[in-house]
């Protein structure tokens, strides 16, 4: 049966030049390289330069994804930017990217689902493309978390970093078969009862300030493994695939121990898991497209591969996307 599938035609990413190692952080707060590596797997993170905005990172990643897709920017009719660190409260970071790309048609908006933002963005774009409401979408995850970190709080400031990644998705006619390219399934979930376990203690409508990130790491960790495993199992059941059929698992990079735990619980061999956290820490909505871009550049992605994306973050929000590359 002829259907429309959303096919990823290009991926790109950008990391700011400045690198901050664990040794650099140990000069600011009472921590050590040993503690950070053992508890999270992080060795370094990238920090945006003074004046470098989320939209600058987003634009650099978008340019790369567009070049690789071979699609002209003016043919993009939907731009979704997933970010929790927008340039301004409004307008959206997505419209800044739109203007930067020289596009003045279609629609551009931000999605706020923190670390799950990229999966939420892919799910939203997929629905727009399959319904015929858009033909070519740019989905970006971009963050400058260094701006909302309390650099005196060692329990959070060691974990996060800045970066951006993007994909170009195109609506394509398909037979809808198991081996046809494109997004096969997206599932997004949230549960607002857990808002206070991971949040920013400010905002225009409450404190009129930006605020700083606060997290009960131990509790978030406990929920993460459970919720991520649950949504992946739901995805596999609904699509009829088994965990050992996944060629590449591209998860949100929050903690190496979470990823090891999820892979083990699902029975996905660790060599099929893309792990980039050591090089850039937790970059929230940017981490999945950064990891996807890394896999692409390392030639770990071949046409026809079954690829699983997954994320969990503040809200709580979480979700998964299964696709045929
Ligand atoms: O992307 C959104 C989702 N986010 C996540 O998934 C993050 C989930 N959580 C985690 O990744 C982990 O909970 C952390 C990496 C944040 C923490 O690891 P943990 O094994 O849960 O450590 P903990 O919070 O239980 O802290 C253990 C000890 C504490 O000391 P006491 O109370 O045992 O004496 C902390 O005070 O480690 C101490 N500690 C540190 N020590 C050195 C906390 N932060 C640091 C630090 N350096 N940076």
- Distance (angstroms) between ligand 1 centre and the Cα of 163 equals 23
| Cβ of residue 253 lying under 6 Å from some atom of ligand 1 | no
Position 121 scores a pLDDT of 99
> Which residue's CA is the closest to the ligand 1 atom numbered 14?
217
Segment 52-62 mean pLDDT: 98
Active site residues: 115, 252, 282
Tracing tokens 């707060």 back to the chain, one arrives at 29
Residues 6+ apart with CB under 8 A from 143: 54, 57, 83, 84, 85, 162, 163, 164, 283, 284, 285, 286
Position 280 scores a pLDDT of 98
Domains 3-174 and 182-324 share a fold: yes
**Which residue(s) pair with 293 in the sheet?**
none
Local structure of residue 283 (DSSP, 8 states): -
Local structure of residue 48 (DSSP, 8 states): P
Position 2 scores a pLDDT of 87
Does the pLDDT of residue 8 top 90, yes or no? Answer: yes
Segment 95-113 mean pLDDT: 98
Position 106 scores a pLDDT of 98
- Distance (angstroms) between ligand 1 centre and the Cα of 156 equals 8
Task: List strand residue ranges (DSSP E) for the chain, in order.
Answer: 3-14, 18-21, 44-47, 78-82, 107-111, 136-144, 162-174, 182-190, 198-200, 213-215, 248-251, 306-313, 317-324
| Cβ of residue 218 lying under 6 Å from some atom of ligand 1 | yes
Position 313 scores a pLDDT of 97
* Helix, strand, coil distribution of the chain in percent, nearest 5: 40, 30, 35
| Cβ of residue 147 lying under 6 Å from some atom of ligand 1 | no
Report pLDDT digits (tens) over 165-200: 999 999 999 998 889 999 999 999 999 999 999 999
Name the band, by pLDDT with cuts 50, 70 and 90, for residue 158: very high
Domain ranges of the chain: 3-174, 182-324
Report pLDDT digits (tens) over 117-140: 999 999 999 999 999 999 999 999
Q: Which atom of ligand 1 is nearest to the CA of 220?
A: 8
Residues 6+ apart with CB under 8 A from 1: 175, 176
For the chain, percent of residues with pLDDT exceeding 70: 100
Report pLDDT digits (tens) over 12-53: 999 999 999 999 999 999 999 999 999 999 999 999 999 999
The pick from 24, 30, 39 for probing ligand 1's pocket by mutation, whose C-beta has the most ligand atoms within 8 angstroms, reads 39
> Which residue's CA is the closest to the ligand 1 atom numbered 28?
155
**Which residue(s) pair with 126 in the sheet?**
none
> Which residue's CA is the closest to the ligand 1 atom numbered 21?
218
Name the band, by pLDDT with cuts 50, 70 and 90, for residue 310: very high
Name the band, by pLDDT with cuts 50, 70 and 90, for residue 81: very high
> Which residue's CA is the closest to the ligand 1 atom numbered 41?
31
Position 148 scores a pLDDT of 98
Position 322 scores a pLDDT of 98
Q: Which of 253, 300, 297, 259 is nearest to 276 (CA)?
A: 253
Does the pLDDT of residue 273 top 90, yes or no? Answer: yes
Phi, psi of 18 (to 5 degrees): -70, 125
For 3-174, give the CATH class: alpha beta
| Cβ of residue 313 lying under 6 Å from some atom of ligand 1 | yes
**Which residue(s) pair with 163 in the sheet?**
143
Name the band, by pLDDT with cuts 50, 70 and 90, for residue 56: very high
| Cβ of residue 155 lying under 6 Å from some atom of ligand 1 | yes
Sequence length of the chain is 325
- Tell me the pLDDT of the chain averaged across its residues: 97
Give dist(CA 322, CA 32) in Å, integer: 37
What is the CATH superfamily name and number for domain 182-324? Thiolase/Chalcone synthase (3.40.47.10)
CA dist list (Å): 210 to 25, 109, 124, 282: 23, 20, 27, 20
Does the pLDDT of residue 1 top 90, yes or no? Answer: no
Give dist(CA 257, CA 27) in Å, integer: 25
Q: Which of 200, 136, 151 is nearest to 28 (CA)?
A: 151
Position 48 scores a pLDDT of 98
User: Would the CA dihedral through 80, 81, 82, 84 be positive or negative?
Assistant: negative
| Cβ of residue 293 lying under 6 Å from some atom of ligand 1 | no
* 136-144 and 78-82 strand pairing: parallel
Position 233 scores a pLDDT of 96
**Which residue(s) pair with 109 in the sheet?**
80
| Cβ of residue 282 lying under 6 Å from some atom of ligand 1 | yes
Position 243 scores a pLDDT of 95
Phi, psi of 309 (to 5 degrees): -110, 145
């Amino acid at each position: 049966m002829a259907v429309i599938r959303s096919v990823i035609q290009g991926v790109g990413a950008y990391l700011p030049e400045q690198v901050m190692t664990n040794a650099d952080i140990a000069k600011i707060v009472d921590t050590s390289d040993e503690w950070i590596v053992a508890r999270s797997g992080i060795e370094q993170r990238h920090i945006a330069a003074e004046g470098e905005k989320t939209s600058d990172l987003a634009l650099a990643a978008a340019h790369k994804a567009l070049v690789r897709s071979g699609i002209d920017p003016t043919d993009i009719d939907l731009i979704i930017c997933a970010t929790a660190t927008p340039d301004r409260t409004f307008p959206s970071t997505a419209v800044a990217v739109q203007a930067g790309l020289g596009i003045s048609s279609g629609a551009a908006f931000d999605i706020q689902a923190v670390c799950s933002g990229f999966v939420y963005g892919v799910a939203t774009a997929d629905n727009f493309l399959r319904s015929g409401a858009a033909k070519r979408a740019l989905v970006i995850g971009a963050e400058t978390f260094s701006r909302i970190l309390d650099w005196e709080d060692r329990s959070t400031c060691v974990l996060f970093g800045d970066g951006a990644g993007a994909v170009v998705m195109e609506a394509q006619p398909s037979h809808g078969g198991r081996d046809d390219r494109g997004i096969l399934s997206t599932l997004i979930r949230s549960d607002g009862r857990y808002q206070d376990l991971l949040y920013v203690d400010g905002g225009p409508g409450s404190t009129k300030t930006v605020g700083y990130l606060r997290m009960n790491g131990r509790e978030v960790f406990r929920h993460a493994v459970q919720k991520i495993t649950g949504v992946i199992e739901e995805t596999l059941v609904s699509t009829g695939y088994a965990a050992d059929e996944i060629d590449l698992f591209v998860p949100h990079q929050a903690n190496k121990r979470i990823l090891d735990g999820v892979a083990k619980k699902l029975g996905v061999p660790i060599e099929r898991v893309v792990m980039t956290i050591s090089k850039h820490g937790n970059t929230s909505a940017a981490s999945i497209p950064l990891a996807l871009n890394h896999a692409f550049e390392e030639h770990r992605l071949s046409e026809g591969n079954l690829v699983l994306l997954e994320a969990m973050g503040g809200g709580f929000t979480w979700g998964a996307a299964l696709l045929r590359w």
